[in-house]
Amino acid sequence: MRAARSGPPSGRQKEADRNDERVLRAAREVFAELGWNAPVSEIARRAGVGMGSLYRRYPAKEDLAQALRVQGMDELAALARNAMAAHTDPWTALAAFLRAALSAPDAGSLLPLIGGRLPSTDEIDAASNRLKAALDDLVDAAHRSGALREDVGSADLPLLLSHLSPRLPTTAERAVELHLRYLDLVLSGLQNPSTPDQQSAGPPDWTELTDLWNTP
């Protein structure tokens, strides 16, 4: 995991940071395309770094996956905060967050990698708490406005995004179009109905969601 530092990065540190971003981007693509058994050498090749450099930064494949989990959760939290800052109407903010998450160029590979049953760590827990706080604020505001049905919780949103963002055997542009099409269909079901005709099962809580990510 990336260590905290103070002050502006040096030239060498800037290069290390650029390499790290390339490695994580390549790992995201390779895991999404080839699965967990993908060779680390393919990640190094796509990132344009040597195997020695990759192993010094990430000694095991699990370390790469954990870094992707933190990155993915922080990216989703930032999208939620940006949506709330850009839209005063809570329902519009919620819909904008979901659309932004599904429109990301690598949404199909990012969201499943947030999960995966790996051990929890302090850094994973901290990222999970940041994501929970952002999504709680988004959902609570939509509840208070009366726009969002009361049985929808913050833990529903990452799972909903996972269902709406499978990798599709088409162009990236068409895949985003299809993901957003199905989001538009789902949004009507998320709105608070004036006369609900059926009672759905209870929503997941955050513990149930994180249990899907972490090994016991």
Residues 149/156, Cβ–Cβ less than 8 Å:
no
Dihedral, CA atoms, 7, 22, 105, 215, nearest 10 degrees? -90
* CATH 1.10.10 for the 10-59 domain, yes or no: yes
Q: Measure the CA–CA gap between 16 and 85, rounded to whole angstroms.
A: 32
Q: What is the pLDDT of residue 213?
A: 79
Residues 80/137, Cβ–Cβ less than 8 Å:
yes
Q: Measure the CA–CA gap between 73 and 187, rounded to whole angstroms.
A: 22
Q: Measure the CA–CA gap between 54 and 42, rounded to whole angstroms.
A: 11
Burial group, residue 176, by CB count within 10 angstroms (0-12, 13-18, 19+)? buried
Q: Measure the CA–CA gap between 49 and 52, rounded to whole angstroms.
A: 8
Per-residue pLDDT of the chain (216 residues; tens, 9 = 90+): 455 555 565 666 778 788 899 999 999 888 878 878 889 999 999 999 999 999 999 999 999 989 998 998 999 999 999 999 999 999 999 999 999 999 886 665 555 566 667 888 999 999 999 999 999 999 999 999 999 999 999 999 998 998 888 877 888 888 888 889 999 989 988 988 754 555 566 777 888 888 877 877
Residues 78/131, Cβ–Cβ less than 8 Å:
no
Domain boundaries, the chain: 10-59, 62-193+203-216
Q: What is 62-193+203-216's CATH number?
A: 1.10.357.10
Q: What is the pLDDT of residue 214?
A: 83
Q: What is the pLDDT of residue 23?
A: 94
Q: What does pTM read for this prediction?
A: 0.81
- 214: which DSSP letter? B
